[in-house]
Amino acid sequence: MIIRKQENWFRMLFIWQGSVLPRLLGRLSLLLLLSLVVLYFNGAIFNYKIQLNPAPFTLFGIALAIFLGFRNNVSYDRFWEGRRLWGSMLNTTRSLARQAQTLTHKGAPTDTGHFVKLLIAFSWCAKHQLRQTDPAEDLHRLLGARESEQLRGKRYVPNLLVLEMGKWLQVLHSNGSINPLLAANIDHNLNELSNIIGGCERIASTPIPYTYKVLLHRTVYFYCFLLPFGFVDSLGWMMPVIVTFIAYTFVALEAVADEIEDPFGVEPNDLALNALCTMIEHTLREMQGEIPGASPDPKHYNLD
């Protein structure tokens, strides 16, 4: 995820990292080449002049911009909901770590440190599940060889970790180490963890309808590749430049929507899940009285 300080307006014109322009150079170059060919032949193909009036392009461009705006709003809603869910994960894990340390009776036979490690492992495994990567290394680092081996090959590891935390709470309740009403409060937060990972799974497994994406994609490119024929007479030698700029606007909007549609991916503008997991781990370890090292710096969010 790219997080930058406010840049000077002039420098922003030339920013490369985090822009979708590198992905579009090939497509825009092809359109520029087409525009130059159309300009050279004055809009004629095999000596047949293609007569296109600029007025329909103007009206159709407005309608297309409205549809692209709707597409971007839907994608950003998914991105922002994903960020809210991970913000809730941070708050809920903090609450559970605090409750585990302050609501249980002193001398309880269960280990709050292990409970906190389960919370940390939950966040890392949620990241691995959403990105479809292997959580084995983080599980071994946090829980040890025995427990990590028991979870090896499981598909929904975060759910199993919530189950283990529920068993930890059950032991406390059965031996009288926690008040039943307080145990219910902790169980409520465990339910919240299940709701959070369920919400993330809903976003990850329910993309924007494919037929809608295909329709908009075809319309954008059909519109852009017809632009040179509509403006060759009215714009003259400036036509390739203006057409390429118009195409950049429409194609870039579509590319941005595609990039943030899945907020849990590894694109430059997706959520920085590694940094969020590191933040959760650091804050929970500090609550345990440990010194986890340097806090995650938002400047590094663009790395993961």
Which amino acid would we find at residue 217? H
Name the more confident of 88 and 104: 88
pLDDT of the residue at 3:
60
Task: Report the interhelical angle of 157-174 vs 180-205 (nearest 10°).
Answer: 170
pLDDT given for residue 11 in this prediction: 76
- Sorted by sequence, the CB contacts under 8 Å of residue 136 that are 6+ apart come out as 148, 152
Per-residue pLDDT at 59? 86
C-alpha separations of 266 from 156, 205, 261 in Å: 20, 16, 12
Q: Which residue has the tokens 């926690």?
A: 178
- 41 pLDDT more than 70: yes
pLDDT value of residue 118 = 96
pLDDT of residue 45 exceeding 80: no
Residue among 248, 260, 210, 207 nearest 80 (CA): 260
Dihedral, CA of residue 251, residue 265, residue 269 and residue 159, to nearest 10: 140
Q: For 182-233, how does the pLDDT look when each residue is reduced to its tens digit (9 = 90+)?
A: 999 999 999 999 999 999 999 999 988 888 889 999 999 999 999 999 888 8
Q: Model pTM greater than 0.95?
A: no
